[in-house]
């Protein structure tokens, strides 16, 4: 019988294992703790929606809709799409379930998303994000709270020193439209000097040109019209209150006048936390205010602001900051010790000590496994130790070794 070829993973996907999986879990755990501190309610939505949910809310002219969505026709002939982002599906759920009665709403979620884009460092076709949204508050206080929450989340992950908050305003709808018209006029005059992608975006979504990494485009962007020249008095006041609130909370920020969120529903505040440690695509958390979104889905005009962060990218930033997966490894020697080790491991785990039990192999191999696991110590028990009601503890970092009473192990390892 001919041997079958081993199936390969789909390009742009990943299998997360061992330390990488531990980092992934830690990002989610910190997010869950922070969202509870800020009184955000956990929600879950389907991973696929009717295609119209994303086409209408993201804007037919965006790159996500035009090039990156995974859409398919189901057996009933309806077009469905794997979610490329959280906000549109969350807005649909808000309308479908009548959550308007609960306004204002603080909502948080996390899970997989799907985009057909070029895979690169920390960016995949199936990727994962954490997401926080505040719906129903039109005042700058909502933007400030979400930005402080994002800053604390990154700080609690231990990566705050590696990221910078870049902040901009897109103004109200009138300001944004005036700026958009000015950009179209400006870039039309320089069409021949634009990259091919930016020439394509010029009529569909000119704000996306400001995001271009192409050197030809960047030279033009550097002297393009800026939003500040088109801000209404109300928009200027709104942005001023946001920056004052951040200063009061001690959140550092820098102004980035060309920063845009490429989706059509964004208004006023736009922001990204960026790093230079992950290559050219350095955004790890981004968001902004999207007062126009729920209305595009057929609902009433409803103010909202939110952000999302890539779990994979944050886990990469954390690197060795992730906690060791194991505190203690128990190595039993002899049949009596094998049985005793089962009870010992159960006791330590019940007291919150991360414990592994390695029963097979030579002592050298078992010690190697403990080192590879990043354990703080090994607990060795044999007949001599059992008869004395003790165990031998060896600290792996220092090599120090001592005997200790069995009933003192949990308290010692919990410190």
Angle, helices 18-37 vs 311-318, to 10°: value is 110
pLDDT(398) > 60: yes
Domain match, 343 and 403 both = yes
Q: Within a domain: residue 190?
A: no
Domain match, 291 and 341 both = no
| pLDDT 10s digits, 135-144 | 999 999 999 9
Confidence grade of residue 274 (pLDDT, cut at 50, 70, 90): very high
Q: What percent of the chain has pLDDT over 70?
A: 94
As a whole number, mean pLDDT of residues 36-45 equals 98
Domain around 339: 328-414
Q: Residues 318, 27: contact at Cβ < 8 Å?
A: yes
Picking from 320, 338, 358, the residue at the C-terminal end of a domain is: 320
Length of the chain: 415
Q: Within a domain: residue 304?
A: yes
Domain match, 349 and 399 both = yes
pLDDT(25) > 70: yes
pLDDT(53) > 70: yes
User: What pLDDT, on a 0 to 100 scale, did the predictor assign at position 225?
Assistant: 93
Confidence grade of residue 282 (pLDDT, cut at 50, 70, 90): confident
Among 312, 176, 315, CA closest to 232: 176
User: What pLDDT, on a 0 to 100 scale, did the predictor assign at position 72?
Assistant: 94
Domain match, 114 and 238 both = yes
Domain match, 254 and 365 both = no
Q: Within a domain: residue 292?
A: yes
The structural domain count of the chain equals 2
Round to the nearest angstrom and report the end-to-end CA distance of the chain: 58
As a whole number, mean pLDDT of residues 97-122 equals 91
Q: What is the mean pLDDT of the chain?
A: 91
As a whole number, mean pLDDT of residues 266-273 equals 93
| pLDDT 10s digits, 80-105 | 999 999 999 999 999 999 999 999 99
Domain match, 280 and 383 both = no
As a whole number, mean pLDDT of residues 399-414 equals 92
Is beta strand 304-310 parallel, antiparallel or unpaired with respect to 126-135? antiparallel
Confidence grade of residue 278 (pLDDT, cut at 50, 70, 90): confident
As a whole number, mean pLDDT of residues 104-117 equals 95
Q: Within a domain: residue 89?
A: yes
Q: Tokens for 130?
A: 């954490």
Domain match, 121 and 238 both = yes
User: What pLDDT, on a 0 to 100 scale, did the predictor assign at position 65?
Assistant: 60
| pLDDT 10s digits, 322-339 | 555 689 999 999 999 999
As a whole number, mean pLDDT of residues 235-241 equals 97
Picking from 293, 320, 347, the residue at the C-terminal end of a domain is: 320
CATH number at residue 368: 3.40.50.800
As a whole number, mean pLDDT of residues 98-116 equals 96
């Amino acid at each position: 019988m001919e041997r079958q070829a081993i199936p390969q993973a789909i390009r742009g996907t990943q299998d997360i294992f061992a330390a990488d999986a531990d980092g992934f879990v830690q990002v989610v755990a910190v997010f869950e703790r922070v969202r509870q501190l800020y009184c955000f309610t956990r929600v879950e939505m389907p991973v696929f929606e009717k295609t119209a949910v994303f086409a209408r809310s993201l804007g037919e002219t965006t790159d996500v809709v035009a090039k990156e969505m995974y859409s398919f026709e189901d057996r009933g002939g309806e077009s469905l799409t794997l979610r490329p982002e959280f906000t549109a599906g969350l807005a649909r759920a808000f309308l479908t379930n009548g959550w308007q009665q609960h306004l204002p709403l603080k909502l948080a979620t996390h899970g997989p998303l799907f985009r057909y884009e070029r895979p690169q460092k920390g960016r995949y076709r199936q990727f994962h994000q954490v997401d926080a949204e505040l719906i129903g508050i039109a005042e700058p206080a909502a933007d400030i709270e979400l930005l402080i929450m994002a800053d604390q989340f990154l700080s609690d992950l231990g990566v705050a020193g590696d990221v910078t908050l870049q902040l901009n305003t897109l103004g109200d709808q009138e300001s944004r439209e005036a700026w958009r018209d000015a950009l179209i006029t400006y870039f039309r005059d320089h069409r021949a000097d634009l990259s091919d992608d930016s020439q394509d975006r010029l009529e569909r979504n000119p704000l996306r040109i400001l995001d271009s990494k192409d050197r030809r485009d960047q030279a033009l962007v550097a002297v393009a019209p800026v939003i500040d020249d088109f801000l209404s008095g109300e928009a200027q006041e709104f942005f001023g209150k946001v920056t004052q609130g951040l200063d009061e909370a001690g959140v550092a920020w820098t102004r980035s006048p060309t920063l845009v969120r490429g989706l059509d529903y964004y208004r006023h505040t736009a922001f990204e936390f960026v790093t230079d440690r992950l290559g050219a695509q350095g955004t790890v958390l981004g968001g902004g205010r999207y007062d126009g979104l729920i209305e595009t889905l057929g609902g009433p005009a409803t103010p909202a602001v939110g952000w999302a962060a890539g779990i994979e990218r944050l886990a990469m930033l954390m690197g060795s900051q992730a906690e060791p997966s194991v505190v203690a490894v128990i190595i039993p020697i002899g049949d009596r010790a094998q049985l005793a080790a089962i009870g010992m491991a159960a006791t330590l785990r019940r007291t919150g000590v991360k414990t592994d039990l390695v029963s097979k192999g030579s002592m050298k191999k078992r010690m190697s496994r403990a080192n590879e696991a990043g354990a703080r110590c090994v607990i060795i028990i044999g007949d001599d130790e059992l008869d004395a009601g003790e165990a031998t503890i060896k600290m792996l970092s220092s090599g120090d070794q001592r005997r200790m009473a069995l009933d003192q192990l949990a308290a010692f390892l919990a410190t």
